[in-house]
Amino acid sequence: MLQFSDNPPLSLYVHLPWCVEKCPYCDFNSHGLKGRELPETDYVDALLRDLEPELPLIWGRPIETVFLGGGTPSLFSPEALDRLMSGLRALLDLRFTRELTLEVNPGTDMASRLAEYRAIGFNRVSIGVQSFDDRSLERLGRIHDRRAAWRTIEAAHDAGLDSFNIDLMHGLPGQTEADGLADIETAITLEPPHLSWYQLTIEPNTAFAFSPPALPPEATLDRIGEAGQARLVDAGYSHYEISAFARPGHECEHNLNYWRFGDYLGLGAGAHGKITLPAENRVERRVRSRHPNQYLERAGTAANIEAHDIPRRELPFEFMLNALRLTDGFPVSLFQERTGMPIAVASKTLRGLEEDGLIEWDIRDIRPTERGHRFLNDVLARFLPDD
């Protein structure tokens, strides 16, 4: 039987699934508008209906962070987002929410909107830059150029946001080592408090999967990755998660809750949620209808939600899948707090990883070594339950 001492921290994720155009590398649940009108009024109504079945699961629990992702949430007007946030505040305890993030795209004229988002209550934005090279942006199917990205980052500083992130990719089609490091240097010049820097991968069921571009050779990818990480650390950014770098005090609290296996509500088309129910000794996954049209029809009904318990034997893998992404790892006590099981259930695997030099383990903390982070997929595979 699982034994939980308390509820984990609780976050809220809201998925807004539309984009102007779907990028060829993107495997998220996003849908290009293709000239159609954005159904923002109907969708905000659906999101608020969608929340109602969740309320009995989380009575009395404050929401610590909120993240509006997509898609391109910044396609929604400030008026629609204000109405959404007003509705969420009426139903949820957001009094102590520390971080409220909105994903934005430089291609949707953000420079004029960021101050309005700040007035609504968003204190953090995440800007999908991907590259500062116009040729790379074109190859990635992005609808903005270098100048639009630059202007949006400057506007984020001017808007008085508490923090903001920029997303950058490396290993892009035709990219050289010099190109990849030039993106890093430009980013450092613009002084974002937080930077997500990750390698482009070709995901199934994307346009790139059906028509793969020519990517740099493995040796070039390794050099870009290692040199870029070193440059960011040298510039004062903490490499606190595999693909996340932050100035002191600007780590993404919402993502940290995921990585520490906290709880989260998921609203919107295809959104996932995880809720711990200590009194019932179980952890439940909840998934919404994926297609926006289906979601609009079903929101607020039982047909919109698929729910299942995470099996006990899968909980160690689910926990490690998140927690070992963190450079500093996790306190040993956190494992039992979040899985309801003693660390002893994973001790054989942990000892083997320690002997192989992939983790470090002392009385208080478990953390991946540099080698363990580099081969994290191999590390995580050791925690998969036997069939």
Q: Is the pLDDT of residue 109 over 70?
A: no
**Residue 107's pLDDT is what?**
66
Contacts of 2 (CB under 8 A, 6+ apart): 281, 282, 283, 312, 315, 339, 340, 341
Mean pLDDT across 373-383: 95
**Residue 278's pLDDT is what?**
94
**Both tokens assigned to 32:** 């290009």
Backbone angles phi, psi at 149, to 5 degrees: -65, -45
The number of beta carbons lying within 10 Å of the beta carbon of residue 385 is 11
Structural domains in the chain, CATH included, are 10-256 (3.20.20.70), 313-381 (1.10.10.920)
**Residue 357's pLDDT is what?**
97
Between CA 46 and CA 69 the distance in angstroms is 16
Please list the helix, strand and coil fractions of the chain in percent, rounded to the nearest 5, in that order: 45, 20, 35
Between CA 338 and CA 6 the distance in angstroms is 9
Residue 230's pLDDT band (cuts 50, 70, 90): very high
**Residue 110's pLDDT is what?**
74
Residue 363's pLDDT band (cuts 50, 70, 90): confident
Alpha helices in the chain (DSSP H): 40-51, 78-91, 114-120, 134-139, 146-158, 177-190, 207-210, 218-234, 253-259, 292-298, 315-323, 332-339, 347-355, 370-374, 376-381
**Both tokens assigned to 299:** 């929101």
**Residue 39's pLDDT is what?**
97
The answer to which of 98-107, 254-263, 347-356 has the lowest mean pLDDT is 98-107
For β-strands 330-331 and 365-368, DSSP reports them as antiparallel
Mean pLDDT across 210-234: 95
pLDDT tens digits for range 167-220: 999 999 999 999 999 999 999 999 999 999 999 999 999 999 999 999 999 999
**Residue 386's pLDDT is what?**
80
Sign, CA dihedral 53-2-331-387, equals negative
pLDDT tens digits for range 306-339: 999 999 999 999 999 999 999 999 999 999 999 9
| Residues forming beta bridges with residue 66, ordered by sequence position | 12, 100
Between CA 25 and CA 39 the distance in angstroms is 25
**Residue 353's pLDDT is what?**
97
Average pLDDT, the chain: 95
Contacts of 309 (CB under 8 A, 6+ apart): 282, 283, 284, 285
